[in-house]
Amino acid sequence: MSYVGPDFDPPQPRRPRRRPLVVALAALVPGALLGWAVYAAVGAPGDAGGAAVSAPGSPSASAPARDDGKKPTAGTSPTAGTTPTAGTAPAASPSPSRSRAAARGPLAGKVVVIDPGHNPGNFRHTAAINRQVDIGTNRKECDTTGTSTNSGYTEARFTLDVAHRLRDLLQRQGATVKLTQDGDRPYGPCVDERARIGNTAHADAVVSIHADGSAAGNRGFHVILPEAVHAGAADTRPIVGPSQDLGARIAGNFVRVTGSAPSNYVGDGTGLVTRKDLGGLNLSTVPKVFIECGNMRDSKDAALLTSGAWRQKAAQGISEGIVSFLRG
């Protein structure tokens, strides 16, 4: 996703920090501080050294408003949209022995939905993904193409790769894992359908995986939390609290496992941002967060995002945050 471009909403004013999340983050301070200390001591991967980063605080509402992704980038050759295949992408079926082992895991009985942002085929179906859908507060595009690194590694490829790694880790813990898409449909699903998939599954947690497309020099990850919204079909009030808890746990574990720092351009150094303009969050009735794992347009972040070893760490950090949330 990208924070820049003529088609995105203007920046929203800052709002006072919310006290309830401070309590949730307090429980994460020991682990998170350890991760921050490691980062400060050895620096971000690929850097000669690291700058000290403060421990996370409450979420910031200072992020410029943007949609669930980006417009098609120049250089593509999109064609008119076609009708997507029905249903959602099923997770790969584990072997019987693996299923029995998973059923005995600590997450047995828990359902996790992983939402890989965008779809590799979106750029071929611009007419379809540009159609407007209701997100409660207003109407937005069905979906977008996502961003890419300067060398052409796409966000859609990145999100699917991390989703597969995350699915494997969670299944080993005994969780039932569903993906909103697995690159096996022409485009989409639209943001409203992505929310419905998690709702219909009665998911205990949903994580939407993304990578940002901000300006060079903007670095780090951030987790996007739902703001309290009650408008039209959207009512996030019941999920704001648990989603904040889920997001804080993912942020703390992500920095500890990957060594990456929180975003230096949104979130006031906390790695947490609250937004009300994303249909995938507005329409969710179960705990859900987005994670922007890094900035694809920054060369240092891009070096991490294109590394299979780092993507495994990213999946591990997200997984440990989810496990921590589900186990309380």
Q: What is the pLDDT of residue 104?
A: 76
With respect to residue 97, please indicate whether it lies within any of the assigned structural domains.
no
| Whole-number Å distance between alpha carbons of 114 and 28 | 23
* Cβ density class 31-51: b for 16+ within 10 Å, e for less: bbbebbeebeeeebbeeeebe
92: in domain? no
pLDDT value of position 10: 36
- 256's tokens: 């500890």
Closest CA to 69 of 218, 292, 282: 292
Which entry of 141, 193, 292, 320 is annotated as an active-site residue? Answer: 292
**Alpha carbons 41 and 36: distance in angstroms, whole number:** 9
Asked whether residue 183 is domain-assigned, the answer is: yes
Judge whether 320 counts as a catalytic residue. no
Mean pLDDT by 10 residues, the chain (328 residues): 40 42 40 41 36 37 39 34 37 47 81 98 97 96 98 98 98 98 96 98 98 98 98 97 98 98 98 98 98 98 98 98 97
CATH number assigned to the domain comprising residue 275? 3.40.630.40
Please report whether residue 133 resides in a domain: yes
- String of DSSP letters for 100-156: HHHHTSTTTT-EEEEEESS-TTGGGBHHHHTSEEE-SSSEEES-----B-TT--BHH
Interatomic CA distance for residues 116 and 166, integer angstroms: 11
Record the pTM: 0.74
Residue 240: domain span? 42-63+108-327
